[in-house]
Amino acid sequence: MRKRFFGLRLSPLPFALCSVALGFLGAMLIALSVPAEAQQAKVRKIGWLGTRPASGPGSGIEALRRELHALGWVEGKNIVFEHRYSEGKLERLAALADELVRLKVDVIYTATTPGVRAAKAATTSIPIVFSTTGDPVMAGTVDSLARPGGNITGFTMIVPVTAGKRLELLKETVPKLSRVAVLWTPRQSDQSWKESQRAGRELGLQIHSMEVSSADQFDNAFEGATKGGSAALAVTPNPVVNSNRKVITELAAKHRLPAIYPDSRWADADGLMSYGADLSEPYKRVASMIDKILKGTKPSDIPVEQPTRFEFMINLKTAKQIGLTIPPNVLARADRVIR
C-alpha cells in the first residue's frame, strides 16, 4: 500500500527511510545541545592545601564555599574540594602538593607562603591561587603584583606593612612603653620582623625578639620576654602562630602583657587588640579568581590583589582581666569593641 507524503505517493520502503532520516536529524539536533549542558554540569576539582583543618561558619573553607556558591559553584554539584593538611608539619606540604597534582585538580588554593612554594614546586601547569600574609614579590612567588606570571595569582594581606601600625597602636595604648616583644617565626614571617624592627626605631621602641619555630617554644619565649623587660607584645602571623591562638592569648594574659594581634580572629578569641585586613575580603577576591580560572582565564592574566579595608578591634573584657585602661582616644578609633 502506497502512502502520501506532502502530496507525493511514496512506496513503503522510501517512506520508512525518510522516517529514519528525520529521526536521525532530530537526534543530531539534540546532540548539538549537549556539550554546553555537559560543560556546565562538569564537576571541577579544587585542591585545598593547608596546615590544619578548620570548620565552622568563621573558618576559611566555609567562607570560600559561601563566596563560590554566590558565583554559582556548588559543592557536590559542579565543584568538589580535595583537602590536604600537613597537621602543622610544614615539611609535609611538598608531598601533599604532589598528591593534589596526581589527582589532576583544576586549581590549587593555599593560604600560606610555604604552601605556595610547595605547590609551585609541584606544578607549572595547574593554576595556583593564594591568600598569604607576606609580600609575594619579595617571597619570589610572583614576578609582580600587576603581572604575576606563570601559573600563580592571589591575594596578599600585606601584613609586613601593618606591623608598624600595630606597634604604633601599642605605644598609644600603653603609657610610657619603651620595650616591646615581637613574636615571629624565621622563614615564615621574616618580612614582618624586619618591618617591626624598622618601625620600632622610628617610634623609639626597643624590640625584643620572641623567635619561635614550634609550639613547644612558646612558654620559654614568654618567660624570656617578661624577664627581659618587655611591657607589651606584638604578634606577626604565620602558620605556627596562627595554629596556636588560644595558647598565645592565654600566655599573654598569664604574663599580663598588653598584646596586639594581626586580625579580628584574635580579638574574638580573647586577645586584647587586633589590627589587620578585613578577613571577609580575601575570600571574596579569591573566589572571584577561582571562578575566572575555572571559566578559562589564565592566572598570569589576573593581577594579585591587596586589601582595601582594615579593622581595629579592642576586647575590653581582656583589658579588665590584665588591669589595663584603654585611653579614650584609642578606644574612639576602634572599628569594633568587645565589652
Over residues 240-249, the pLDDT tens digits come to 898 899 999 9
Tell me what pLDDT residue 54 has: 67
| Residue 272 CA to its chain's centroid (Å) | 23
Model pLDDT for residues 290-335, shown as the tens digit of each residue: 999 999 999 999 999 999 889 999 999 999 999 999 999 999 999 9
Shared domain for 49 and 145, answered yes or no, is yes
In which element (H, E) is residue 128 found?
strand 128-132
Point out which residues pair with 130 in neighbouring strands.
110, 154
Instruction: Return phi, psi of residue 119, to 5°.
Output: -65, -40
How many other C-beta atoms are found inside a 10 Å radius of the C-beta of residue 308?
9
Q: Report the CATH number that the domain containing residue 201 is assigned in CATH.
A: 3.40.50.2300
| Positive or negative: CA dihedral 247, 184, 282, 97 | negative
Residues 113, 206, single domain; the answer is no
As a whole number of Å, the end-to-end CA separation of the chain is: 94
Q: How far apart are CA 18 and CA 10, in angstroms?
A: 10
Q: Are residues 163 and 210 in the same domain?
A: yes
Contact 314, 266 (CB under 8 A): no
d(CA 69, CA 291): 10
pLDDT of residue 27: 52
If phi > 0 it is left, if psi is from -120 to 50 it is alpha, else beta; for residue 65 that is: alpha
Number of domains in the chain: 3
The pLDDT tens digits for 119-172 are 999 999 999 999 976 788 888 889 999 999 999 999 998 777 789 999 999 999
Reading across the β-sheet that carries 128-132, which strands appear in turn? 79-85, 44-50, 107-110, 128-132, 152-156
Considering the domain architecture, whether residues 191 and 260 belong to the same structural domain is answered as yes
Give the type of residue at 21.
Answer: A
Q: Does 103 share its domain with 47? A: yes
Q: What is the pLDDT of residue 42?
A: 86
Query: In this structure, are 256 and 204 located in the same domain?
Result: yes
Do 219 and 200 fall into the same domain? yes
Task: Reduce the secondary structure of 17-29 to three states and give it as a string.
Answer: HHHHHHHHHHHHH
Do 46 and 150 have their domain in common? yes
My answer on whether 127 and 171 are in the same domain is no
Residues 113 and 60 in one domain: yes
Provide, rounded to the nearest whole percent, the portion of the chain with pLDDT above 70.
Answer: 86
Domain coverage including residue 173: 159-277+310-338
Are residues 323 and 209 both part of a single domain? yes
pLDDT at 36: 46
> Is the per-residue pLDDT at 8 higher than 50?
no
* Average pLDDT for the chain: 87
Do 108 and 241 sit in the same domain of this protein? Answer: no
Q: What percent of the chain has pLDDT over 90?
A: 67
- The Cα–Cα gap between 315 and 337 comes to 6
For the segment 189-241, what is each residue's pLDDT rounded down to a tens digit?
Answer: 888 899 999 999 999 999 999 999 998 999 999 999 999 999 999 999 888 89
**Separation between Cα atoms, residue 152 and residue 143, nearest integer Å:** 10
Tell how strand 128-132 and strand 152-156 pair up.
parallel
